[in-house]
């Protein structure tokens, strides 16, 4: 039970440094430090360490804030351009699917007629029909990957 009290005291101390404690919890913590010399020594050494760390000088470049603001603005502009491009891509994709659904029966009849006329096996006609829809989708995927900056060369791998 006493170990749980010490763990609770450590948690309350850490919480008091970051977010603060309620009055009741702060009272309990103060009472525990008054009664437990081990916790009081540990907390005192932790406070000394924190004070020593706060006094360590840190040099910061003068233009750090300006450079950070510039990077944030550039990233926001890139995100805005990308989101606009993505919206346009979604609109084009939706229109493509809509047109594809409407034209699928006509395209299938054309493939069936061409297969009968040229005496092509039914499996080849079906594969041709599938490729008719798959090849533009593969080009769209390649365009998106190119836009994102991926190198999809089989010899070099991704960038």
56: DSSP letter: S
CA 149, CA 159: separation in Å to the nearest integer? 8
CA 23, CA 142: separation in Å to the nearest integer? 61
pLDDT in tens, 72-122: 988 888 777 666 667 777 787 788 878 888 888 998 899 899 999 999 999
pLDDT in the model for residue 159: 47
Domain edges within the chain? 2-54, 79-148
Residue with tokens 């005192």: 44
- Containing 69, the helix (H) or strand (E) segment is helix 64-118
pTM equals 0.37
Residue 79: CB atoms within 10 A of its CB come to: 10
């Amino acid at each position: 039970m006493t170990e749980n009290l010490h763990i609770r005291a450590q948690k309350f101390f850490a919480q008091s440094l970051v977010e603060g404690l309620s009055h009741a919890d702060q009272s309990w913590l103060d009472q525990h430090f008054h009664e437990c010399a081990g916790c009081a020594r540990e907390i005192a050494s932790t406070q000394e360490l924190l004070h020593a760390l706060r006094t360590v000088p840190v040099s910061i470049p003068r233009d750090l804030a300006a450079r950070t603001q510039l990077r944030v603005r550039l990233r926001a502009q890139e995100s805005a351009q990308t989101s606009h491009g993505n919206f346009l891509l979604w609109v084009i994709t939706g229109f493509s699917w809509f047109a594809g659904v409407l034209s699928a029966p006509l395209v299938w009849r054309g493939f069936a007629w061409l297969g009968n006329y040229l005496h092509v096996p039914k499996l080849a006609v079906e594969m041709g029909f599938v490729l008719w829809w798959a090849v533009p989708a593969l080009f769209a995927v390649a365009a998106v990957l190119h836009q994102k900056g991926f190198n999809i060369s089989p010899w070099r791998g991704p960038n």
